[in-house]
A and B are shown apart, each in its own frame.
Chain A
Amino acid sequence: MAAAMATGLGRLGLRACRQNVESLLRSARGAPTCRLVPVRTKRRFSVPNWDREQSLEEKKLRPSRMVAPEEHVERTFYLACTADVIDPYVPPEGDARLTSLSKEGLKQRAERFKQSAVSQLALRKVKDHDPDFSTKTFPEKAQEIFTEAHNCLANFNKQKLHSLVTERCYSEMVRGNRYKTIRWSFVESLEPPRVVHVRCDSMVNRGNLYGQVTVRMHTRQTLAIYDRFGRLMYGGEQVPKDVLEYVVFERHLVNLYGTWRMHAKIVPEWAPPKDPIVKTVMIPGPTLNPSQEFEEIK
């Protein structure tokens, strides 16, 4: 067949042959023919990988050496306590000043807790999860926890302290006390403690309930803090002080083995100021240029 084609083409001649090819290439509408240009396809020189300019992404994706896959050591963390007090209780002014014998004092006392509807709702939720909870028996237990926790702090019994006090409270209690000696004692309770405020809230997921109960305690305590060398820094061992406190206790209600632990203290704005510490502290003044004097700036 090729021989036949060759002979056929040979009769026509070379010029005719080329014309035929061009006519074949010519499209039906008569567009200009494109010239066949031979191209050398053999690669002579190629830029090596290391010299080639790579985009930033390519550079990042390609490691320079063998990289072992990172083992993700996952540590599950567990929220055992909330970070702060939910809806903190605002203690009424003059709480400990009004005697319980006056009419106003009694009225305040009786009505305040019952009025708060949110507290009632929260109390109901708490009782769902913890049927033994009752506003009459809880304050005594709360005071016991409070006393135990402070004794553990004085004796540096960290393990027991962790079980009596939430993590947030622990860090506040223990900070700065590492090299100090603390002597604390509970003298007596001036008024019976009572529940003042109940709140219930969930964290992260919807059903993850934490309950917070505020207990009002009016007690007499002694506190003495000694520094590293055994010198008295604050307070006195034989000086009892009357203290009115609003202590928040918290429990992870959904947890079967959760316990009521001390969480925070609410300090009202009208609280009397604390005693000053024994030593004097220098408050740095403004930095002066060599030419200035302090009196001029004042």
Chain B
Amino acid sequence: MAARRVAAAGCAWPWGLLGWARPERFLASGSVFPLSCIHTSTPLEKLGKWEKKNRIVYPPQLPGEPRRPAEIYHCRREIKYSKDKMWYLAKLIKGMSIDQALAQLEFNDKKGAKVIKEVLLEAQEMAVRNHNVEFKSNLYIAESLTGRGHYVKRIRYHGKGMFGIMKLVRCHYFVKLVEGPPPPPEPLKTGFDQAKEYVQQLRNRTIANTL
């Protein structure tokens, strides 16, 4: 009984402490543990959806299937920068290979470039260490997004006792790295292609309910 109590306690406290880090495929049997452990506590920060995406586990692949490319999700929250200004940088590196993206960001003059570069390096390190990625250069940026963080209102003092209310703006930055060479960019639609499509639409017209 003592051994079982220890086993229960031994199982309960990591479950409570590391409650954030459960893989989504394992469903625990529903047994109630006694309150014998004091160290259970709620996690400090609630994990966002993007962080949880790193926890899905796929079933083992059959020998005939093509190799599934590794996907690594990373983000940084509450960056002191505007989401609209950050969007330009996110759009810049979308679809590039990681080396090219790092090179572009290093010589970009914006403030957000430094932050995004740190995030990309962190994500690369995580990929190699935790997610079984073989070559650290063999990654490309599949998705890169910005989101609105928490805004704070402050007083901006003008002359003659006038004031305005200014917003201190923060943003989040999300990135998804996928293993493999970057996909080739889509070719631009030429006029000839558009004309062909138009002609095809005309030819597809029929009269309904006829022979």
Smallest CB–CB gap between A238 and chain B, Å? 10
Quick one: given A159-B29, A179-B55, A181-B57, are A231 and B67 in contact (CB under 8 Å)?
yes
Quick one: given A156-B26, A233-B132, are A257 and B3 in contact (CB under 8 Å)?
yes
| Neighbour of B3 across the interface among A163, A224, A227, CB < 8 A | A163
- Which of A51-59, A73-81, A95-103, A118-126 forms part of the interface with chain B? A73-81
**Per-residue contact bits, chain B 1-14, to A (CB 8 Å; 1 contact, 0 not):** 11110110011000
Inter-subunit contact B3/A229 (CB<8 Å):
no
Q: Provide the bound-state CA to CA distance between A179 and B60, in Å.
A: 12
Task: Determine the chain B residues whose CB is within 8 A of the CB of A280 once the complex forms.
Answer: 134-135
Taking residues whose C-beta sits less than 8 angstroms from the other chain, chain B's interface range is 35 or more
Inter-subunit contact B61/A231 (CB<8 Å):
yes
Inter-subunit contact A259/B132 (CB<8 Å):
no
CB nearest neighbor in B for A164: B7
B180-209 residues with Cβ-Cβ distance < 8 A to A are: none
Q: How many residues of A contact B (CB 8 A)?
A: 33
Q: Provide the bound-state CA to CA distance between A228 and B179, in Å.
A: 13
CB nearest neighbor in B for A78: B6
Q: Provide the bound-state CA to CA distance between A226 and B26, in Å.
A: 16
Task: Determine the chain B residues whose CB is within 8 A of the CB of A73 once the complex forms.
Answer: 38
CB nearest neighbor in B for A182: B60
Q: Provide the bound-state CA to CA distance between A158 and B33, in Å.
A: 14
Quick one: given A73-B38, A78-B6, are A181 and B11 in contact (CB under 8 Å)?
no
Task: Decide if B68 is an interface residue (CB 8 Å cutoff).
Answer: yes
Quick one: given A179-B55, A227-B132, A229-B70, are A163 and B7 in contact (CB under 8 Å)?
yes
Q: Provide the bound-state CA to CA distance between A158 and B2, in Å.
A: 18
Task: Decide if B163 is an interface residue (CB 8 Å cutoff).
Answer: no
A209-236 residues with Cβ-Cβ distance < 8 A to B are: 224, 226-233
Inter-subunit contact A226/B60 (CB<8 Å):
yes
Inter-subunit contact B60/A258 (CB<8 Å):
no
Task: Determine the chain A residues whose CB is within 8 A of the CB of B2 once the complex forms.
Answer: 78, 255, 257-258
Inter-subunit contact A178/B21 (CB<8 Å):
yes
Inter-subunit contact A231/B57 (CB<8 Å):
no
Inter-subunit contact A227/B131 (CB<8 Å):
yes
Task: Determine the chain B residues whose CB is within 8 A of the CB of A233 once the complex forms.
Answer: 132
Smallest CB–CB gap between B24 and chain A, Å? 10
**Per-residue contact bits, chain A 150-182, to B (CB 8 Å; 1 contact, 0 not):** 000000101100110001001000000011110
Inter-subunit contact A230/B68 (CB<8 Å):
yes
| Neighbour of A231 across the interface among B7, B26, B68, CB < 8 A | B68
A51-87 residues with Cβ-Cβ distance < 8 A to B are: 73, 75, 78, 80
Task: Determine the chain A residues whose CB is within 8 A of the CB of B107 once the complex forms.
Answer: none
Interface residues of B (CB under 8 A from A): 1-4, 6-7, 10-11, 21, 23, 26, 28-29, 31, 37-39, 55-61, 67-71, 128, 130-132, 134-136
Interface residues of A (CB under 8 A from B): 73, 75, 78, 80, 156, 158-159, 162-163, 167, 170, 178-181, 183, 224, 226-233, 252, 255, 257-259, 279-280, 282
Besides A162-B10, A227-B132, 6 other CB < 8 A contacts?
A: A75-B38, A226-B60, A229-B68, A229-B69, A231-B68, A282-B136
